[in-house]
Structure 1
């Protein structure tokens, strides 16, 4: 069940869904947006054992500033024993993820339920459950 969405910035909404914190990026994710989103993303990924999903379905533009946010979030969550998942459907953004290798670290899924079902089928070390 989706809980109430909080919008800490114009480009970011945060809500709970199926025991995960969902960070819903919106609009254009560029340097200015990354500076606004970064502190919120850092707060969400600061804990131990965080279970989070970054949802990019409402993103219209995504540059290297957004990639840095995702790599940083992935590293922070992983070093603290948590799990981070990615939802993305835009072909151009998916292509950037494949070219940069991000798709190997955070395999993009088409929707939240698919991402969380996949998470449930994979053990914490990344091996199939």
Structure 2
């Protein structure tokens, strides 16, 4: 699926609209606003073609999220499983201390390996 074709899944609320773009050979999905159950349900039709596609690296950038709950965790775990099942890599960019705490408390930090910048997420993809 082409990145331009994914625009049809954009959210009506401008503060919730994800941004999807290519960067140094990876697909970057920038999430904005609150990542809760409603956002999860809206994100699956966007994320599944990306994580099931041909990209060898997908980066989920959480730096612009304001709220992140267990639905957000489910979204990341689903994306991670889909990527690793086909030998690809998912990276997570996150600096929000409460989101990092949720990842740590749930034991997902070693699996998702969040990093503070997009550049760090793309290291090793040369």
Query: After TM superposition, is the score higher than 0.5?
Result: yes
For the pair 1:81 / 2:82, whether they are aligned, the reply is no
- What TM-score, normalized to structure 1? 0.83
Which ranges of 4 or more aligned residues in structure 1 deviate by more than 2 Å? Answer: 6-11, 47-50
Higher-strand-fraction structure: 1
Q: How many pairs does the alignment contain?
A: 118
Greater RCO (Cα-Cα under 8 Å, separation 6 or more): 2
Following superposition, the deviation at residue 111 of structure 1 comes to: 0.7
Aligned CA-pair RMSD: 2.2
What is the aligned partner in structure 1 of residue 75 from structure 2?
Answer: 69
Deviates more, 1:49-58 or 1:14-23: 49-58
- What TM-score, normalized to structure 2? 0.85
Q: Please say if residues 12 and 24 of structure 1, whose CA atoms lie closer than 8 Å, have aligned partners that are also in contact.
A: yes
- Consecutive unaligned residues of structure 1, counting only runs of 5 or more, are 122-129
